[in-house]
């Protein structure tokens, strides 16, 4: 019953210490990276949202025919009822901060200079919240429940960056 | 449920195991688990490895540890996610009747990658990813929501860190045993408001292995079995904006199911020890409440009263938890192994008095998906 | 044998294509799942747990089990991710079987998917190999398959014409499958004249890159017979994932298939697979495997694979039709591919395979292939297995 994996290294009652036989060997480290180019198909639902955002500076959500929830960012399907959403609804551009954080250490995924404030923003007329930046306010003054509005980007950009950020409603 | 854990093996958790490959770590953990169970690899009839292609920087990451986990002549499979989920599949295979003993491994070497970039890849590429968030900043938003909803304070969060790092001093496997004060935590670097550096778990390397056996096999070995009484997992909605981040609804459901399997009606009285997925300080409190081990919003106050200390009424993370060592994919399996040691009375300096314990693991951002294990000394 | 009987009660697939820009990955998954639910006449509320899988670096999404919830229907349900490379789809099926057999869940939804159009498939596959030893000197999947074919040809004297014959078969079969991506007959000469990718593999010998998803619903005996009058019973599963390094493979013979099939057939009392099995859906990513792996499976003796293929025995209407769906050469959304084999085998047993139906199927085998020459297998039957 006590035989170990097929090399037959005996464990007995002491722990295996591989280092014993590798004393004095300097561990080598190989550096590399996985760099695979990606192109994500946004699909028809997100495409319509981004194109409308870019061309008309309007924020659209989709409505679930069953529970009536309006989603922004829009979804093709309602995760709660598991049916196709049906109607497009214009939402925002005002909304409120559901929660937020201010990032002070520039971590590797972040391309902006810190501090960067993120918020989950529930847009007026929407039942869920959208992740985005909060700017135009000192970070310490951001609070949950605060009213904000979308600031559209000047760049012609059919992506989430067609909204530059959210700022406090004056 | 007629299955038990008959062996556990852990490598030490370290910042950078530069001298060892994934396979070396698995080899060590597997051999320790076999030794612990008093059996050989030929007594194992199937294997589940748990790994992540992203964290390992390798497509088909399970390939790296197959040989070291003894899969070559056996049926096997591979789970991606936390080790508690790997163990859940291993349990299913054991209970299916097709197999008598399932070996489970889970490994991670955070030192080999950059966690901010790896966790940024968990964000939706179409709506969110380019905003540059990662696990820490997302969890900071959750901490903010939780504190706002419950009135939990930064001082209470800091106390979790003090407790767990102190507990780690008696855990020979832990990476960060230390004595720190609330003030040390609060004056450590603010990474993402409200999370200070000492509110966050470290980057770690480690591998854990456990052996699950059916009741017939348990009779044949000398090992001290720890019985699996309830296991359940549950996922919440994906987008953070679709969830109430201040509550752990999916955990509540998983816990409810696991307790019902185990015949537990009052977890606060019937659970004697908990090893939870405290990747950040606030999570220990939130998960305690999600698990029904504290009233919603009250975990911080109970913590201040010492309830969750090692000599308290319900010791939580007596091992030091993830805050004292966080090999991502393996972290939940370490929690199971720690509870097993506690219930067998073999936890050394970190031993508490316990008959029944709960172990817990998490997948995804801000605790989207949870796995709960109820373990018992007795069948 | 298992403690509870397990059956497939519904399947759903997308119409597989090279590019699906009209949907995101999540939306693609939703299509397959809703079709499977419709097939079984169930709603998502009836599903107890979800098992999902793909290969991370094809879409670059970490924690796919979490990310896919809107599409999978996993909101407030147990969701788990299994992944084993090319074998992922069959691994998922084997996982579904165990979760139901164990008694942990009664009705499990299994989802395999891939959007291979979203990345560089070969670039992503290359990262499967050991970063210190193999990755620096080896690329993609085709080179490994070419090594296998060359080794086999050297041992048994097969030719590239033999390989081409398999490709002609599968591409012809695919014309009967409305879900297949490539539905066009080819001739032997066209295969041999197509560009050489890695000697002896021509372009028309190998699988394409595909966007697609497949969903399968498994249920315990109690539920299965209420859901459908023609459940596809899973008799047993077996697999071998033997190798970690390329140099360890016994090239020219697929040992993992030989061992897994021995294990599988032993569990079910199959002693003469060629006679007892009525149809095989084989994860056969390139033509030569169609010759080699039936030998490993014990269908024909070593070195006799080509002769058996040329006899027409594996064509529709033959003794043992292989890949009535057209198989992987006609369609390969990698994380779904193994599960599509399982779903297609289920359709054959359930008598729902329409134009690609093989008559009177009592036993079907589905397989998965991947990793470093790994094999997964399931045996499907019309009658209930013994417990």
Q: Which residues of B265-282 are buried (b: 16+ CB within 10 A; e: fewer)?
A: eebbebbbbbbbbbbbbb
DSSP per residue, C131-176: TTTTGGG--TTHHHHHHHHHHHHHHH---HHHHHHHHHHHHHHHTT
**pLDDT for residue C167:** 98
Q: Which of C223, C179, C236 is nearest to C40 (CA)?
A: C223
Determine contact: B148 vs chain A, CB below 8 A.
Answer: yes
Whether the Cβ atoms of residue B351 and residue B345 lie closer than 8 Å to each other: yes
pLDDT of residue C140: 79
pTM of the full structure? 0.96
C82 interface with B at CB cutoff 8 Å: yes
As a whole number of Å, the end-to-end CA separation of chain A is 75
Pairing verdict, β C201-202 and C196-198: antiparallel
Which chain C residue has its CA at the smallest distance from B95's CA? C102
pLDDT of residue B236: 98
Distances (CA, A) of C373 to B38, C81, C87, C376: 33, 22, 10, 10
Predicted pLDDT at A19: 54
Give the residues of chain C that fall short of pLDDT 50. Answer: none
Nearest CA-CA distance, residue B236 and chain C, Å: 5
Listed residue (B16, B108, B13) closest to B56, CA to CA = B108
Q: Which two tokens stand for residue C290?
A: 């169609």
- H-run or E-run covering B138: helix B135-150
Closest of C124, C375, A101 to residue B58, by C-alpha:
C124
A46 lies within 8 A of chain C by CB:
yes
Q: What is the pLDDT of residues B342-359, one digit of tens each?
A: 999 999 999 999 999 999
Q: Is A32 on the interface with B (CB under 8 A)?
A: yes
Q: Are C232 and C346 in contact (CB under 8 A)?
A: yes
User: ∠C158-C273-C307 over CA atoms, to 5°?
Assistant: 20
Using a 10 angstrom Cβ sphere, with 0-12 exposed, 13-18 middle and 19 or more buried, the burial of residue C45 is: exposed
List of chain B residues whose C-beta atoms are within 8 Å of the C-beta of residue A25: 19
| Confidence band, pLDDT 50/70/90 cuts, at residue A5 | very low
C318 at B interface, C-beta within 8 A: no
Q: Choose, out of A50, A66, A78, A82, the residue to mutate when testing the contact with C (most C CBs < 10 Å).
A: A82
Spell out which residues of chain B touch residue C63, defining contact as CB-CB under 8 Å: 81, 122, 363-365, 368
Instruction: Say if CB C150 and CB C200 are below 8 A apart.
Output: yes
Buried b (16+ CB within 10 A) or exposed e, C128-150: bbbbeebbeeeebbbebbbbbbb
Is residue C118 within 8 A of residue C138, CB to CB? The reply is: no
- State which residue of chain C sits closest to A75, comparing Cα positions: C70
Asked if B27's CB is within 8 angstroms of A5's CB, the reply is: yes
Contact between C338 and C112 (Cβ < 8 Å): yes
Q: Which of C19, C26, C75 sits opposite A80 (nearest CB)?
A: C75
Q: Name every chain A residue with its beta carbon within 8 A of the beta carbon of C26.
A: 76-77
- Low-confidence residues in chain B, pLDDT < 70: none
Question: Per the CB < 8 Å rule, is C104 touching B91?
Answer: yes
Nearest CA in chain C to B117: C62
| Beta bridge partners of residue C114, listed in sequence order | C212
Q: What is the mean pLDDT of residues A140-145?
A: 98
Q: Nearest by CB to C132, from A30, A76, A82: name it.
A: A30
C70 vs A: CB within 8 A: yes
- Give the Cα separation of B281 and B371 in Å (integer): 19
Q: Is A118–B137 a contact, with Cβ atoms under 8 angstroms apart? A: yes
Asked if residue C17 lies in contact with residue C28, where contact means CB atoms within 8 angstroms, the answer is no
Structure tokens at B373: 């294990």
Q: How many beta-carbon pairs under 8 angstroms link B with C?
A: 196
Q: What's the confidence (pLDDT) of residue C1?
A: 58
CA distance C90 to chain B (A): 10
Contact C81, C142 (CB under 8 A): no
Query: Is B62 within 8 Å of C84 (Cβ atoms)?
Result: yes
Chains in contact with B, where contact means 3 or more Cβ–Cβ distances below 8 Å, are A, C
Taking 50 as the threshold, does the pLDDT of residue A3 lie above it?
A: no
Q: Would the CB atoms of A131 and B117 count as touching at under 8 Å?
A: no
Q: For residues C16 and C331, is the Cβ–Cβ distance under 8 A?
A: yes
Minimal CA separation from B126 to chain C, in Å = 9
Chain B touched by C63 (CB under 8 Å): yes
> Which tokens belong to B229?
């009484």
Cβ contact A32–C131 (<8 Å): yes
Calpha distance B233→B361 (Å, rounded): 9
Q: What pLDDT is recorded for position A8?
A: 36
- Nearest residue in chain C measured CA to CA from B252: C76
Interface of B with A in 180-209 (CB under 8 A): 189-195
Q: pLDDT by residue (tens digit) across A92-131?
A: 999 999 999 999 999 999 999 999 999 999 999 999 999 9
Classify B262 as helix, strand or coil: helix
| Chain A interface test: which of C24, C65, C72 (most A C-beta within 10 Å) | C24
Which tokens go with A20?
């014993």
CA distance C371 to chain A (A): 18
**CA-closest candidate to residue C113, choices C151, C174, C67:** C67
Q: Say if residues C365 and C358 touch (Cβ distance below 8 Å).
A: no
Residues 6+ apart with CB under 8 A from C189: none
Q: Contact C27/A43, CB-based, under 8 Å?
A: yes
**A77–C contact, CB cutoff 8 A:** yes
Q: What is the pLDDT of residues C320-348, one digit of tens each?
A: 999 999 999 999 999 999 999 999 999 99
Please state the separation of Cα A157 from the chain's center in Å: 18
DSSP annotation of A153 reads -
DSSP state, B15?
S
């Amino acid at each position: 019953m006590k035989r170990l994996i097929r090399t037959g290294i005996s464990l007995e009652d002491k722990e295996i210490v591989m280092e014993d036989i590798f004393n004095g060997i300097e561990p080598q480290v190989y550096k590399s990276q996985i760099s695979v180019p990606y192109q994500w198909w946004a699909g028809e639902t997100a495409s319509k949202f981004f194109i409308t955002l870019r061309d008309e500076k309007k924020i659209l959500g989709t409505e679930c025919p069953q529970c009536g929830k309006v989603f922004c960012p829009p979804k093709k399907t309602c995760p709660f009822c598991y049916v196709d959403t049906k109607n497009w609804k214009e939402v925002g551009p005002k909304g409120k901060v559901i929660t937020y954080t201010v990032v002070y250490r520039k971590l590797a995924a972040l391309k902006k200079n810190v501090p960067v404030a993120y918020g989950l923003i529930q847009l007026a007329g929407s039942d869920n919240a959208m992740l985005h930046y909060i700017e135009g306010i000192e970070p310490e003054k951001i609070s949950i429940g605060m009213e904000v509005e979308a600031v559209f980007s000047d760049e012609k950009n059919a992506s989430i960056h067609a909204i530059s950020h959210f700022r406090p409603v004056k | 449920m007629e299955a038990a854990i008959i062996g556990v093996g852990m490598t030490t958790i370290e910042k950078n195991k530069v001298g060892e490959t994934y396979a070396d770590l698995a080899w060590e953990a597997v051999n320790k688990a076999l030794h612990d169970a008093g059996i050989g690899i030929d007594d194992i009839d199937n294997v589940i490895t748990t790994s992540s292609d992203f964290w390992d920087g390798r497509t088909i990451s399970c390939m790296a540890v197959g040989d070291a986990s003894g899969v070559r002549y056996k049926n096997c499979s591979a789970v991606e996610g936390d080790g508690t989920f790997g163990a859940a599949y291993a349990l299913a295979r054991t209970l299916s009747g097709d197999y008598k003993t399932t070996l489970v491994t889970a490994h991670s070497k955070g030192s080999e990658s950059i966690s901010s970039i790896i966790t940024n890849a968990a964000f939706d590429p179409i709506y969110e990813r380019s905003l540059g968030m990662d696990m820490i900043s997302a969890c900071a938003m959750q901490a903010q929501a939780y504190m706002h909803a419950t009135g939990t304070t930064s001082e209470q969060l800091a106390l979790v860190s003090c407790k767990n790092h102190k507990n780690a001093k008696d855990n020979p496997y832990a990476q960060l045993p230390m004595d720190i004060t609330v003030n040390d935590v609060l004056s450590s670097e603010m990474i993402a408001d409200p999370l200070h550096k000492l509110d966050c778990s470290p980057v770690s390397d480690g591998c854990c292995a456990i052996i699950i056996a059916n009741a017939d096999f348990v009779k044949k070995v000398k090992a001290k079995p720890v019985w699996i009484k309830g296991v359940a997992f549950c996922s919440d909605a994906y987008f953070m904006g679709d969830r109430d981040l201040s509550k752990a609804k999916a955990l509540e459901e998983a816990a409810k199911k696991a307790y019902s399997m185990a015949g537990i009606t009052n977890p606060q009285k019937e659970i004697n020890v908990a090893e939870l997925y405290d990747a950040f300080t606030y999570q220990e409190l939130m998960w305690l409440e999600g698990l029904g081990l504290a009233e919603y919003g009250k975990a911080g106050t109970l913590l201040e009263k010492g309830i969750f200390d090692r000599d308290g009424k319900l010791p939580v993370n007596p091992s030091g938890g993830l805050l004292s060592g966080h090999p991502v994919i393996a972290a939940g399996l370490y929690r199971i192994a720690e509870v097993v040691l506690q219930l067998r009375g073999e936890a050394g300096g970190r031993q508490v008095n316990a008959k029944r314990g709960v172990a817990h693991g998490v997948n995804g951002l801000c605790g989207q998906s949870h796995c709960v294990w109820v373990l018992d000394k007795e069948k | 044998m298992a403690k509870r009987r397990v059956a497939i009660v519904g399947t759903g697939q997308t119409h597989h294509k090279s590019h699906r820009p009209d949907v995101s990955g999540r939306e693609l998954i939703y299509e397959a799942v809703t079709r499977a639910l419709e097939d079984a006449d169930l709603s998502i509320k009836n599903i107890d747990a979800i098992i999902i899988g793909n290969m991370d670096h094809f879409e670059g999404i970490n924690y796919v089990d979490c990310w896919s919830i809107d599409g999978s229907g996993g909101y407030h349900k147990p969701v788990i991710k299994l992944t084993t490379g090319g074998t992922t789809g069959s691994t998922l099926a084997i996982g579904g079987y165990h979760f139901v057999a164990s008694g942990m869940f009664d009705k499990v939804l299994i989802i395999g998917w891939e959007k291979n159009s979203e990345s560089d498939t070969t670039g992503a596959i290359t990262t499967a190999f050991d970063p210190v030893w193999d990755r620096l000197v080896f690329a993609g999947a085709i080179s490994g398959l070419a090594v296998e074919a060359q080794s086999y040809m050297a041992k048994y004297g097969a030719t590239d014409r033999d390989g081409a014959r398999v490709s002609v078969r599968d591409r012809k079969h695919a014309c009967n499958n409305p879900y297949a991506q490539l539905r066009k007959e080819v001739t032997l000469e066209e295969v041999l004249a197509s560009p050489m990718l890695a000697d002896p593999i021509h372009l028309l010998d190998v699988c394409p890159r595909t966007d697609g998803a497949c969903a399968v619903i498994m249920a315990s005996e109690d539920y299965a017979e209420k859901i459908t009058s023609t459940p596809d019973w899973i008799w047993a599963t077996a697999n071998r994932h033997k190798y970690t390094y390329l140099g360890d493979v016994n090239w020219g013979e697929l040992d993992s298939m030989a061992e897994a099939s021995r294990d599988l057939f032993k569990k079910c009392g199959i002693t003469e697979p060629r006679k007892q099995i009525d149809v095989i859906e084989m994860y056969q990513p390139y033509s030569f495997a169609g010759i080699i792996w039936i030998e490993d499976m014990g269908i024909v003796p070593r070195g006799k694979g080509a002769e058996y293929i040329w006899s027409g025995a594996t064509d529709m209407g033959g003794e043992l039709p292989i890949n009535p769906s057209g198989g992987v050469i006609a369609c390969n959304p990698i994380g779904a591919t193994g599960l599509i084999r399982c779903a297609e085998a289920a359709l054959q047993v359930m008598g729902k395979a329409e134009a690609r139906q093989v008559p009177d199927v009592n036993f079907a085998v589905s397989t998965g292939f991947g990793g470093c020459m790994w094999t997964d297998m399931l045996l499907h039957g019309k009658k209930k297995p013994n417990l």
